Amino acid sequence: MNIQINKPAPSFSGVDQDNQKHQLLDYAGSWLVLYFYPKDNTPGCTKEACSFQDNLGELKKHAQILGVSGDSVQSHLKFSQKFNLSFPLLSDPDHQIIDRFQANGLILPKRVTFLINPQGKIAKIYQKVNVNQHATQILEDLKKLAD
């Protein structure tokens, strides 16, 4: 399946750091920021996650946020506790979700984000992510698209 703007997002199902199950259907009717990142506790991934957390109040006015990496539930739990992250991080050690969204890199997942509209279609794909400005860039795009 080729991921394209205005096409349906691939369905997915995974568990977060609290062992809560999340699937695409849970977000029907809402905007969803689905971001893939290489690894917990690495400098770029920490900056990106903290940037989402710092902007979470504003972001949640427009969308839900899910992070995805191949790290374990336990790794995600430690990462989210260490940086006080209050949004779900899906554990995808078998790369089921990562593969569906073509976010696989050579060894670790690529850093890529998908903005999914309330109808479950891909509204925007961010292939080149600047971890310092990504959350504010998404917020600006959401304000244009969601309002």
> For residue 111, what are the CA distances in angstroms to 29, 120, 137?
26, 21, 15
Active-site entry in 32, 34, 45, 66: 45
118 phi, psi to nearest 5 deg: -60, -20
The beta strands (E) that lie in 89-139 are given as 89-91, 112-116, 122-126
Check if 50 is active-site.
no
- Could you tell me how far CA 130 lies from the centroid of its own chain? 14
Burial class (CB in 10 A: 0-12, 13-18, 19+), 11: exposed
Q: Which residues are catalytically annotated?
A: 45
